Structure 1
Amino acid sequence: MPIWKLHGDGRTVEPGAVVRPDERLNWPATIAVGVQHVIAMFGATFLVPILTGFPVSTTLLFSGVGTLLFLLVTRNRLPSYLGSSFAFIAPVTAATASAGMGSALAGIVAVGILLAAVGFVAQFAGTGWIDRLMPPVVAGAIVALIGFNLAPVAWTSFQVQPLIGTITLAAVVLFSVLFRGFLGRISIVLGVVVGYLAAVVLQLTGTDSIDFTPVADAAWIGLPEFHVADFASPGTWSAIAMFLPVVLVLIAENVGHVRGVATMTDASVNRSTGRALIADGAATTLAGLFGGSGTTTYGENIGVMAATRVYSTAAYWVAGAAAILLSLSPKIGAVFNTIPPGVLGGVTTALYGLIGIIGIKIWVDNRVDFSRPVNQYTAAVSLVMAIAGFTVAWGDFQLGAIVLGAAAALVIYHLGNLIARARKTGADDGGPIPAVGPLGGDPL
């Protein structure tokens, strides 16, 4: 494990330079950057347990522990913060409602184990097979369908307090548009603050009510609330099936994170891809075993690194330790639990939509050719399945919209291309192929 070298004078980053993972600024500056990472991850990380009903403090604890574990597994060479993954929200919500929190945690554990297994394969065989299994049109569809599948959840909270929801949503949008750099990246946090303050003001006028009694009763210092994964419940295996597509999202997020850091620092960082997947898998497994949310690398923290040009892993040791310390205050968790449903409805209306847009951005960035029918149907069928909430059940075993949509994307794309290659061979031998696709594009 490398020892950090002091970068330059330890106080500033020269124009055009970056602080590499094996370097650091002086400790006061490093701590300041680490605190920025905590602030950047905080808004998104605490929203996941609030939306899924998991304990906030427990999620923060395993977020911090997971970050430190990630740094150890990647041998301190890959800067990353492991926050709560939004990809888990839909399956956790469905599994908790149908089979209980224990079954949802079992699903998180299953995802973690499978992700770690993929990491071991990638470490020894490379990542080329991942690109072939999940090309951009498939990856974008799976990410997008997870976000759009959550749209009814956002509306359920929004309609409870539509005025507060509207204020929160407007604040999120305005902050993201008006501010650049760090403030723009924490627009979700700022929107929640504005919405919460609006709810307090309305409470003073007697319009709504927030119960602060649990905050007053909570201790300042104490251990988080732990829950255990339940693999024995009759509904657990159906729940686990709903979680499997999340693995594909976590793979895409981790691979993208590694490539982003490699682009900004050193191409040799790409060799840590397998270790990154193993580390995130281990962190997710640990969190699921004891009541925390599944983890992933965080785009918010990539933004902080891009803004500060500090890619030092030392800052992430600070951030991970700070998250653990915050998790040891039950009062902080109690404050988050008082966030009104209208605030959650407003912020998730933007947030879930953004998850969907991230999937679409994958298509745009990779110039996916939607004149090809196979790409059209890969996206179209999977998204409609997710948005409509398709389900298939065999007795007590049920497959939800996310797993069906993800499976449809994979099957349509790969089967479609297999047929296209066979038909092309047939055409070369004199066999016919169609002239155009349904949207006027080329054949499959």
Structure 2
Amino acid sequence: MPLWSVYGNGRTVAPGDVVKPEQRLSWPATIAMGGQHVLAMFGATFTVPILTGFPVATTLLFSGIGTILFLLLTRNKLPSYLGSSFAFLAPVMAFNGGGRLESPEQIAMALVGIVVAGVVLAGIGFLIQAVGVKWIDRFMPPMVAGTIVALIGLNLAGAAWNNFKAAPLTAVITLAAIVLFSVVFRGFLGRISIFLGVIVGYIAAVIQGEVKFETVAAADWVGLPQFHLPAFTEPAAWSGVLMFLPVVLVLIAENVGHVRGVAAMTEDPSINQSTGKALSADGISTAIAGMFGGSGTTTYGENIGVMAATRVYSTAVYWVAGVVAIVLALSPKIGALFNTIPMGVLGGATTALYGLIGVIGIKIWVDNRVDLSRPVNQLTAAVGLIVSIGGFSAVFGGIEFGSIILATVAVLAIYHLGNLIARARKTGADDGGPIPAVGPLGGDPEN
């Protein structure tokens, strides 16, 4: 029995219809769409290693391998591309004070956290396969998930400024181009506005003499990417592992959202049963990438957008995309070219990108109609965001806890304890106990 049945005439999709995961168009059309998905993921996937200092080609290689592994572990039923996760930016860059990693030793230490995050995520995936996904909804409802996503993005504001001030003119040109592309274009071009803005900023940097091409000329066209191994024996690496645990919560939210999105768009509720497999597959992919120097992975909204536009959800398309990414990764010259991108270009791109991560968190609130008039929700967001943006830190037992882990703990504690107390007070009121007429911030007195 073939892996995919051919949809219709293999060339066009009927109005109002979809090409399901187990179907495909003709192979020429499938290959073309696979290439389109590579373009969709490329801007975001290459941005993460550029910002962190990880090898671009290595990250691209393991995004392709991770995509194929994901398809295998989900039994070819869930279309998805696994690209670099922006959620890893803050904890990775913390190994150089919030800046781009500058040495193999720093990369090796950061990789330990990526591997641990992948293992934890995979374990949660296996747990969900056994007991179901409802406990995730209770532990991390939209109020909590949105706040954690937002605080991870906004935590990087200082890093964006450090890049920006390195070459302000180039940064302004890059940022202006990103804004213009996102406003002027719709559909696919609008979704890759950061990628297009980086190209414009890069051209401006070349004109100003900020780019050197010696390393590109010396690089081979074909060869293996540069690999790094995690520094498992380095105590400093393990002291930073806690910073990666909030990232797991973000990856859960992204994967669950991806599965539900595909299920809704294909009108196939059975796809939701793949949630645990999706989480474990992404976790295993992330751990494998971390073992050899690649960035942590996640399902990609960019590719969801392409599927929504084309109405083609065939997993065959993603097999093509994964193979194309692997082939591109085997060119050191491409990796060397990306490494020539100057700080000014990164400054413009990260100013938009890190802010957009914060906005995605807010969008989770909006999409799920979170009631921000409730004091417990207000304080969950207020405290978490300020702790993150302000760079709070604390030392317990000789271990330093950074702002992201402190903010995440604060978000979870305030939300769950606040609601627990509110329910207890409401029960007390039913038994004759008092409830104040107005909450502390003028919201719902029931919190």
TM-score range, shorter chain: over 0.9
Quick one: distance in 2 between partners of 1:66 and 1:215? 27
The corresponding residue for 1:243 is 244
Find the aligned partners of 1:320 and 1:96 in 2 and give their Cα distance: 31
Q: What is the CA distance between 1:384 and its match in structure 2?
A: 0.3
CA deviations on 1:353-403 (whole Å, 9 max, x unpaired) are 000000000111111111111111111000000000111123652111111
Given the alignment of the two structures, is residue 225 of structure 1 paired with residue 226 of structure 2, yes or no?
yes
In the other structure, the counterpart of 2:126 is: 120
Q: Could you tell me which amino acid in structure 2 is paired with residue 166 of structure 1? A: V
Could you tell me how far 1:438 is from its partner in structure 2? 2.8
Rounded to whole Å, the distance in 2 between the matches of 1:4 and 1:309 is 16
1:382 to 374, 381, 384: 384
Q: CA deviation at 1:2?
A: 6.7
1:421 aligns with 2:431: no
Q: Return the alpha-carbon distance in structure 1 between the equivalents of residues 95 and 112 of structure 2.
A: 10
User: Percent identity of the aligned residues?
Assistant: 71
User: Match of 1:84?
Assistant: 84
Partner of 2:273: 271
Correspondence 1:149 to 2:166: no
Instruction: Output the CA distance in 1 between the equivalents of 2:143 and 2:357.
Output: 15
Tell me the equivalent position of 1:372: 374
Judge conservation of contact 1:424–1:433 (CA < 8 Å) in 2: yes
CA contact (8 A) 1:144 1:383 kept: yes
Matched residue, 2:309: 307
Q: Assess if the C-alpha contact under 8 Å between 1:390 and 1:400 holds in 2.
A: yes
Measured in 2, the distance between the counterparts of 1:215 and 1:260 equals 41
Whether 1:184 aligns to 2:162 is no
SS at match of 1:77: coil
Q: Compute the displacement of 1:306 (Å).
A: 0.7
Matched, 1:158 2:164: yes
1:206 maps to: none
* 1:115 partner amino acid: L
Root-mean-square deviation (CA, aligned residues, Å) is 1.2
Tell me the TM-score normalised to structure 2 length.
0.96
Alignment match of 1:136 (pick from 117, 124, 142): 142
CA contact (8 A) 1:235 1:396 kept: no
- Residue 102 of structure 2 is matched in structure 1 by none
Rounded to whole Å, the distance in 2 between the matches of 1:2 and 1:261 is 23
- Number of the residue aligned with 2:37: 37
Q: Which whole-Å CA distance do the structure 1 matches of 2:342 and 2:106 have between them?
A: 23
1:439, CA displacement in angstroms? Answer: 2.6
CA drift of 1:433 comes to 2.1
Please state whether the residue corresponding to 1:369 is helix, strand or coil. coil
**Structure 2 Cα separation of the partners of residues 337 and 90 of structure 1:** 20
Q: Which amino acid aligns with 1:212?
A: F
CA distance in 1, matches of 2:397, 2:108: 21
Which runs of 4 or more aligned residues in structure 1 lie more than 6 Å from their structure 2 counterparts after TM superposition?
Answer: none
Alpha-carbon distance in 1 for matches of 2:331, 2:395: 42
Contact 1:2 1:76 in 2 (8 A): no
Alignment partner of 1:407 out of 406, 409, 414: 409
Distance 1:195 1:100 in 2: 28
Counterparts of 2:438 and 2:377 in 1: how far apart (Å)? 14
- The separation in 1 between residues aligned to 2:172 and 2:304, in whole angstroms, is 29
The whole-number CA distance in structure 2 between the counterparts of 1:428 and 1:38 is: 58
Matches within 5 A, 1:46-65: 46-65=46-65
> Which of 101, 107, 131 in structure 1 is aligned with 2:107?
101
Paired position in structure 2 for 1:19: 19
Local SS of the residue matching 1:296? strand
Deviation at 1:237, TM superposition (A): 2.1
The alignment partner of 1:235 has SS state of helix
Report SS of the residue matched to 1:398. strand
| Partner residue, 1:262 | 263
Deviation at 1:60, TM superposition (A): 0.4
Q: 2:437 is matched with which residue?
A: 435
5 Å matches for 1:354-373? 354-373=356-375
User: Unaligned regions of 5+ residues in structure 1, if any?
Assistant: 204-208
Letter in 1 for 2:270: S
* AA at the equivalent of 2:48: V
- The farther-off stretch of 73-82 and 425-434 is 425-434
Q: Deviations along 1:129-156, whole A, 9 cap, x unmatched?
A: 0000001110000000000000111110
Structure 2, unpaired ranges of 5+: 99-104
